[in-house]
Amino acid sequence: MDKTFYNIRSMAQKLGVSDKTIYRMVNDNQIPFAVKIGGQWRFRVDAIDTWLASGMNSGAGSWKTDAAVNVYRALQQGAVLYRIHGKNRDECIRELFGALPYSTTLNRQSLLVSIFARESLASSSMQGIGNMGVSDEQPVYAERSMIIIAFLEKATDFKGMDKIATSVFFLVLPANRGEQAILENRLSRLLQETAFRDFIKKQPPRHEILELIREYEARIF
């Protein structure tokens, strides 16, 4: 391997994802310092290593899964943000992170890479609502599981398969893989309910969202 540049394969190994994921991330401008040499993508070793060193860690996390975790409690631990703006999906996600309180236990750069890697496989947005999470290939865990809801100032193209612009998205930040699976399954089930989706799209206040989620979880689960 060229000591000056990483190639696609070595970048995939560095990030713990597939070659195809690296190509998608490059096409979506999610990896900096990418240049084409002889028709092949290359990444400056010094710049990439500095970038990764400043951002790539797994977060605090918890190895013990709380089987009682639910969407209501995770949202209580998280946040509801309004008037998030951006010209595209990635700008909206970055804007969301800029609006969050600073955390010493969760590295934002590593989290962004993980979310972008997952979204590059297939957009999570359906019927105008995004349902995002961290990548299974490169997970990043929070000290405790939380959910963030971000309402967009203007509906934005998140590259959803149904071509419907996204007006709100959920972001699951789990403490471990077990709680990630529980929360994502519960949230996906809630989003199957037409009345639930319609209410969320109205951008209600936080306390009304929490009450709605508590009612739906008690009834469905």
Same domain, yes or no: 50 and 16: yes
Instruction: Give yes or no for residue 165 having a pLDDT over 60.
Output: yes
Instruction: Give yes or no for residue 1 having a pLDDT over 70.
Output: no
Closest among 135, 131, 136 to 183, alpha carbons compared? 131
Residue 162: which domain range? 71-220
Please give the pLDDT value at position 81: 95
Same domain, yes or no: 91 and 51: no
Mean pLDDT across 4-9: 89
Same domain, yes or no: 117 and 157: yes
Same domain, yes or no: 132 and 213: yes
- The model's pTM is 0.75
pLDDT band at 100 (very low <50, low <70, confident <90, very high): confident
Please give the pLDDT value at position 45: 87
Instruction: Give yes or no for residue 57 having a pLDDT over 70.
Output: no
Same domain, yes or no: 17 and 111: no
Please give the pLDDT value at position 61: 60
Instruction: Give yes or no for residue 106 having a pLDDT over 90.
Output: no
Instruction: Give yes or no for residue 38 having a pLDDT over 70.
Output: yes
Distance CA 131, CA 184 (A): 8
Same domain, yes or no: 17 and 95: no
Instruction: Give yes or no for residue 175 having a pLDDT over 60.
Output: yes
Closest among 148, 219, 180 to 69, alpha carbons compared? 180
Same domain, yes or no: 75 and 49: no
Query: At 168, which CATH number?
Result: 3.40.930.10
pLDDT band at 82 (very low <50, low <70, confident <90, very high): very high
Same domain, yes or no: 83 and 29: no
Do the domain assignments include residue 19? Answer: yes
Same domain, yes or no: 20 and 77: no
> What is the rounded average pLDDT for all residues in the chain?
86
Do the domain assignments include residue 29? Answer: yes
Please give the pLDDT value at position 103: 59
**Percent of the chain residues topping a pLDDT of 90:** 50
Instruction: Give yes or no for residue 102 having a pLDDT over 60.
Output: no
Do the domain assignments include residue 63? Answer: no
pLDDT band at 190 (very low <50, low <70, confident <90, very high): very high
pLDDT band at 88 (very low <50, low <70, confident <90, very high): very high
Phi/psi at 5 (5° precision): -130, 150
pLDDT band at 56 (very low <50, low <70, confident <90, very high): very low
Do the domain assignments include residue 40? Answer: yes
Same domain, yes or no: 120 and 193: yes
Same domain, yes or no: 102 and 37: no
User: Per the structure, how many domains does the chain have?
Assistant: 2
